[in-house]
Amino acid sequence: MATYVFSYRVPSDYKPDAETPAEWQAWFGGLGAALVDIGHAVTDYASLGEVGGSGSRMIGHSVVSADDMDSAVALAKDCPVMRVGGGVEVGPAMETAGS
């Protein structure tokens, strides 16, 4: 198994609603043992250079375990950001000395 980083992106004007925390809790719970690190929510942001286009912003990240990239993408498909017009960037985490 390899580890993959999920970067959650939403439209720039996104505002969470009352259902948002429960949706995220349910989705994280559904990931089961694949969820390695729930990560962190991002409460504010700034960017340098071209990052995800001007119409979106990052709202958090997590780390999951999966057999391959296709399996990692399949885990991301029901993420709550999808219902608000956002997306999930998925990439393999590179193991480095000391990590």
- Number of domains observed in the structure of the chain: 1
Where residue 54 sits, what CATH number does that domain have?
A: 3.30.70.1060
Calculate mean pLDDT across residues 65-91: 96
Calculate the alpha carbon distances from 74 to 62, 65, 81 in Å: 15, 12, 14
Q: Residue 13 sits in which domain range?
A: 2-92
pTM of the model: 0.89
pLDDT digits (tens, 9 = 90+) for 56-66: 899 999 999 99
**Does residue 51 lie within any of the structural domains?**
yes
**Does residue 98 lie within any of the structural domains?**
no
Pairing of strands 35-41, 87-92: unpaired
